Amino acid sequence: MKTVTIREVASLANVSVATVSHVINGTRYVSPERRERIEAAIKALNYRPNKIARALNTRGIPLLAIIVPDISNPYWSTVVKAVQDITDTHNYSVIVCSSGGILEREVRFLESLSGWVSGVILHPYHIPQETVQKIVGEDMPVVIIGNFPNGEDQTKHWDHIFSSNLESAQAAVRYLMQLGHRRIAFIQGPEGTPTSTKRLAGYYQAFAEDGLSVEQEFIVPGDYTREGGRNGMRLLLALKNPPSAVFCANDLSALGALEVAQQRGLRVPADLSIVGFDDIEEASHASPPLTTIRQPPEHLGTVAAETLIDRLKGRDHPSSVFIEGKVIIRESTASPRMTG
């Protein structure tokens, strides 16, 4: 016999999974009309709640979750550590989920966690706001890091932490222009993701600001990985007239690009300038140290955790926190070499 899931009950009752969980476990008030629909759905589907989940909820286990795209990325592992450092002081444990930037995983993680945890920190890659709301409802405390895929800058019900992706990318390209570069390439992040889209927009805006045209062949695909940076640099160096500077959507991409450039015999920054984004620890230890945009992951994780804890303590309105990026100038950038 097929096991009925809490998700199926929620779907039949047209409520969130979290609301079904509140009715089953008696953890929060639910309106009589919704309660009746849920109880009817439970009866119709012959649903049997998971005994372990009920035991956890009954005992009030202080459990939170964080969903990030890639825990192997030093940026996100640092964010997670900062979150745990804060939540530990409040006696909360944290479930860490690495989605790989895959929509199906983002949805599955939220569905699995809803009803089990007291709150969630989420960096959405492809999952839209309406899907999150359908799964967790309006009552569960959620902290959104960044933007949803459709570009929404403010969430409807949850706390929101966002950063200057567009403005910081614009500042990075503007800095290269101030050095004298005009042939500036961009190795992108994953296509369609909020951060990559905004950083690409910042790249375009820097050119528009100076009345310059973007050479489309200078915009190449990437995926926020070191290998993506390597592949992007190979494409750029294969051009008949390669760029004099490369702006990368994150530091891992920049480190991969730096590796290929040096393997091809190019001197950085004498022959080619490279700029990253994030300022992970490795960026300052590269050879040469990487010019980048600083968005401290420790600060982001700390703010996310403190915001979630504050909401759990009773704050009843969503907050919005802005984290500003800053150009950190190191030794991977210089004025372009004169030719001709």
Q: Single out the residue of 181, 176, 177, 207 nearest to residue 339, CA to CA.
A: 181
pLDDT at 333: 98
Task: In whole angstroms, give the CA distance from residue 130 to residue 156.
Answer: 10
Tell me which of 42, 61, 80 is where a domain ends.
61
Is 333 among the domain residues?
no
pTM of the model: 0.80
Residue ranges of E strands in 7-156: 63-68, 93-98, 119-122, 142-145
Is 291 among the domain residues?
yes
50 and 172 share one domain: no
Is 71 among the domain residues?
no
Is 152 among the domain residues?
no
Q: For residue 92, which amino acid is it?
A: Y
CA neighbours closer than 13 Å in the CB half-sphere of residue 209: 15
CA neighbours closer than 13 Å in the CB half-sphere of residue 261: 28
From residue 247, alpha-carbon distances to 18, 157, 210, 295, 319 in Å are 43, 35, 17, 16, 32
Q: For the domain that residue 253 is a member of, what is the CATH number?
A: 3.40.50.2300
51 and 172 share one domain: no
Is 192 among the domain residues?
yes
Q: How many domains does the chain have?
A: 2
Q: For the domain that residue 46 is a member of, what is the CATH number?
A: 1.10.260.40
From residue 300, alpha-carbon distances to 40, 132, 182, 212, 268 in Å are 43, 21, 33, 34, 30
Angle at Cα 259 formed by Cα 258 and Cα 260, nearest 5°? 95
Owning domain of residue 287: 165-295
Is 310 among the domain residues?
no
pLDDT at 210: 87
Is 181 among the domain residues?
yes
From residue 301, alpha-carbon distances to 50, 120, 145 in Å are 32, 13, 9
pLDDT at 24: 74
Tell me which of 61, 89, 106 is where a domain ends.
61
Q: Are the CB atoms for 201 and 168 separated by under 8 Å?
A: no
Residue 158: is it exposed, middle or buried by C-beta count within 10 angstroms (0-12/13-18/19+)?
A: buried
Quote the distance between the C-alpha of residue 307 and its chain's center: 17
Is 172 among the domain residues?
yes
Mean pLDDT by 10 residues, the chain (340 residues): 72 82 72 87 78 50 88 93 95 92 91 82 89 80 86 71 92 97 96 90 95 94 96 97 97 98 96 96 95 93 95 85 93 82
Q: Are the CB atoms for 238 and 218 separated by under 8 Å?
A: no
Tell me which of 61, 86, 105 is where a domain ends.
61
